[in-house]
Amino acid sequence: MSRPKKIDAKVVENIIRFGGDIEKERPVDFFFYFPTEYAATQVEVKLINLGFNTNVNYFNPNEKWSLTANKKMQVSTERIYEISLWFEKIAEEEGGEYDGWGAPI
């Protein structure tokens, strides 16, 4: 289940529209959900090795484990889209789902 590129493009457009300079690095948060803590930590280790700051928590309303990964980077539609495709793949390998990203303006 691949995310449409237009979703990422719309977020980047909004950052620009509200005065954000996409040439500057900013903290970007990426969100995942997994059925087990083990699955979440398997992906967490991969992300830590790539320099992401991570946090795993039990998310009771969905009875799933959430993983948030954060890294300071420049955002562009193409870069975020490529990262999102990879995040979908590694999440699915552990029975989880990638739920998108966010960044401050």
**For 41-53, what is each residue's pLDDT tens digit?**
999 999 999 999 9
Q: Does residue 50 form part of some domain?
A: yes
CA quadruple 49, 86, 104, 9: dihedral, nearest 10: 160
Identity of the amino acid at 85? L
For residue 41, give the CATH number of its domain.
3.30.70.970
The mean pLDDT of 96-104, rounded to a whole number, is 93
The whole domain housing 69 covers 5-17+26-99
Q: What tens digit of pLDDT does each residue of 13-41 get?
A: 888 888 888 889 999 999 999 999 999 99
Q: Does residue 104 form part of some domain?
A: no
User: How many CB atoms lie under 10 A from the CB of residue 65?
Assistant: 21
Q: Does residue 105 form part of some domain?
A: no
The structure tokens 């930590």 sit at: 41
Number of domains in the chain: 1
